[in-house]
Chains A and B, each alone.
Chain A
Amino acid sequence: MLLLCLAGTVAGMAVGATPGLSATVGLALLLPITFTLDPTTGLVLMGAFYMGAIYGGAFTAILVNAPGTPSSIATTFDGFPMTQQGRSEVAIIGITVASVVGGLVGVLGLATLAPLLANVVLAFGPQEYFWMGVFGLTMIAGIADSLVKGLAAGALGLLISTVGISPVGGEVRFTFGVTDLQGGVPLIVALIGLFTIPTIIDLMVAPEARSAAMAKEAEQRRRGGVLGSTLRTVLSRPVNLLRSSVIGTFVGILPGAGGNVANLVAYNEAKRTSPRRRNFGKGELDGVVAPEAANNAVVGGGLVPLLTLGIPGAPPDAVIYGVLLLHGLRPGNELFTEQGVLTFTFILALAVAALLMAPVGLVAGRGLQRVVVRAPTQYLAPAIAVLTILGSYAVRNNPLDVVLMVLLGIAGYGLRKVGLPPPAIVLGVVLGPIIETGLGQGLLSASDRALPWTSFFTRPLSLLIIALVVLGVLWPLLNRRKDARVRDQAHEEVAP
Chain B
Amino acid sequence: MRADLVAGSVLLLVAALFWVQRDYRPGGMAGTFPDVVLITLVVSGVWIILRGIVSGDRTHRPREVNLRILAAAGALLVGWALGMGLIGFTISSVVAFVAMATLIRRARPRPKTLAVDTLVAVAVVVVCFVIFTRVLLVPLPVSTLIGM
Contacts and interface: CB of A to CB of B under 8 A. Distances in A.
Direct touching of A and B (C-beta under 8 Å): yes
Interface of A: 15, 21, 25, 29, 148-149, 151-152, 155-156, 158-159, 162, 166, 168-169, 171, 173-176, 197, 200-201, 203-207, 377-379, 381-383, 385-387, 389-390, 393-394, 397, 399-400, 402-403, 405-407, 409-410, 414-415, 417-420, 432, 435-436, 439-440, 443-444
A155 B80 contact: no
Contact of A204 (B17, B32, B40, B103): B103
B46 to A, nearest CB: 10
Given A173-B24, A200-B77, A204-B103, 13 more contacts: A149-B7, A152-B11, A155-B44, A174-B21, A201-B73, A378-B100, A382-B101, A385-B97, A386-B93, A387-B128, A402-B85, A409-B77, A436-B33
Complex A-B, nearest 10 residue pairs according to Cβ-Cβ distance, in ascending order = A399-B85, A171-B30, A166-B30, A152-B44, A418-B7, A406-B81, A382-B100, A436-B33, A378-B104, A378-B101
A84 B143 CA distance: 38
A169 B29 contact: yes
Q: Which of A173, A175, A394, A440 has the most CB of B within 10 A?
A: A173
B106 interface: yes
A440 to B, nearest CB: 5
Contact of A29 (B29, B40, B84, B137): B137
Contacts of B134: none
B6 A418 contact: yes
Contacts of B54: none
B108 interface: no
Contact of B37 (A15, A162, A397, A444): A162
Nearest to A411: B10
Interface residues of B, number: 69
A386 B128 contact: yes
B115 interface: no
Contacts of B77: 197, 200-201, 385, 406, 409-410
A55 to B, nearest CB: 19
Interface in B80-116: 80-82, 84-85, 89, 93, 96-97, 100-106
A382 B137 contact: no
B78 interface: yes
Nearest to B125: A386
A415 B7 contact: yes
B145 interface: no
Given A200-B77, A382-B100, A407-B78, A148 B10 contact: no
Interface of B: 3-4, 6-7, 10-11, 14, 17-18, 21-25, 28-34, 37-38, 40-41, 44-45, 47-48, 51, 65-66, 69-70, 72-74, 76-78, 80-82, 84-85, 89, 93, 96-97, 100-106, 117, 120-121, 124-125, 128, 132, 136-141
A29 B121 contact: no
Q: Which of B23, B41, B104, B121 has the most CB of A within 10 A?
A: B104
Contacts of B33: 158, 162, 432, 435-436, 439-440
30 contacts: A29-B136, A29-B137, A148-B44, A148-B48, A149-B48, A151-B40, A155-B37, A155-B40, A156-B14, A159-B37, A162-B37, A166-B28, A169-B28, A176-B17, A378-B100, A381-B104, A382-B100, A383-B97, A386-B128, A389-B81, A389-B89, A389-B93, A390-B89, A390-B132, A393-B138, A399-B141, A402-B84, A419-B3, A420-B7, A440-B32
